[in-house]
């Protein structure tokens, strides 16, 4: 039986998840219709992939939360923990990859730097986004075998059907590091264009203030 506090938090989480699914679903539907009518653009591909990955991520979080409350035996089983880790690894890192691609896309479209490297990247924005998708695939091909090896080693150590919580801190740290190494990479990559975009907008604002004469908007 759920307590009052748990029921309130569960209700709020479900409402926020429904709103998130509806919002991302609307974005995905709009760009899918636009893709059918017209040619798929780079921005449409990024937003569609981001919306679908976030819908899957929200759905997975809802299912995990309900299983944790309604069926804790299945939730704490090693098989469930293993398969959910694989799904979380693929969906979460795909979502962060699309978010980083969106950040880089807007940076190359909005920012203005006279440096030749920036101009070279601006002319090849499509290739850069394809390169990020390739990085995502390479990271998954590297990380998934390591995570599978980790779970197989733990299965060899214990034949029980439930997950053992007496892992050492260094083992838990290594496991979480492997599960989130792609997230760390893409998150760090997205911070760089955000920082450069702020610098570009600050320089543009300063230039406009210096060049303005009289009262202007």
Q: Are residues 42 and 103 in the same domain?
A: no
CB 133 within 8 A of CB 93: no
Q: Are residues 176 and 100 in the same domain?
A: yes
Q: Quick check: is 108 in a domain?
A: yes
- Per-residue pLDDT of 128-165, as tens digits, reads 888 888 888 888 888 888 777 777 766 666 554 444 44
Closest-CA residue to 25 (of 52, 56, 46, 43): 52
Residue 177, domain extent: 76-202
Q: Quick check: is 211 in a domain?
A: no
Q: Are residues 43 and 128 in the same domain?
A: no
Q: Quick check: is 17 in a domain?
A: yes
Q: Are residues 36 and 94 in the same domain?
A: no
181-184-187-190 Cα dihedral, nearest 10 degrees: -80
- Per-residue pLDDT of 71-118, as tens digits, reads 777 777 777 777 888 888 888 888 888 988 888 888 888 888 777 777
Q: Are residues 152 and 180 in the same domain?
A: yes
Q: Which of 72, 102, 129 is where one domain is finished?
A: 72
């Amino acid at each position: 039986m759920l307590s009052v506090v748990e029921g309130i938090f569960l209700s709020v989480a479900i409402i926020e998840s429904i709103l998130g699914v509806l919002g991302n679903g609307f974005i995905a539907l709009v760009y899918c219709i636009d893709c059918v009518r017209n040619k798929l653009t780079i921005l449409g591909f990024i937003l569609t992939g981001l919306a679908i990955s976030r819908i899957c991520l929200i759905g997975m979080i809802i299912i995990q939360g309900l299983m944790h409350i309604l069926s804790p035996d299945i939730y704490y089983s090693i098989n469930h923990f293993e398969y959910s880790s694989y799904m979380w690894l693929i969906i979460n890192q795909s979502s962060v990859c699309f978010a980083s691609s969106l950040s880089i896309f807007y940076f190359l479209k909005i920012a203005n730097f006279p440096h030749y490297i920036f101009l070279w990247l601006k002319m090849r924005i499509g290739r850069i986004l394809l390169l990020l998708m390739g990085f995502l695939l390479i990271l998954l091909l590297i990380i998934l075998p390591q995570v599978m090896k980790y779970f197989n080693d733990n299965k060899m150590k214990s034949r029980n059907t439930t997950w053992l919580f007496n892992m050492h801190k260094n083992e838990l740290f290594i496991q979480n590091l492997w599960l989130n190494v792609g997230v760390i990479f893409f998150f760090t990559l997205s911070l760089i264009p955000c920082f450069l975009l702020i610098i570009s907008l600050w320089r543009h604002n300063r230039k406009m203030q210096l060049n303005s004469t009289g009262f202007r908007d």
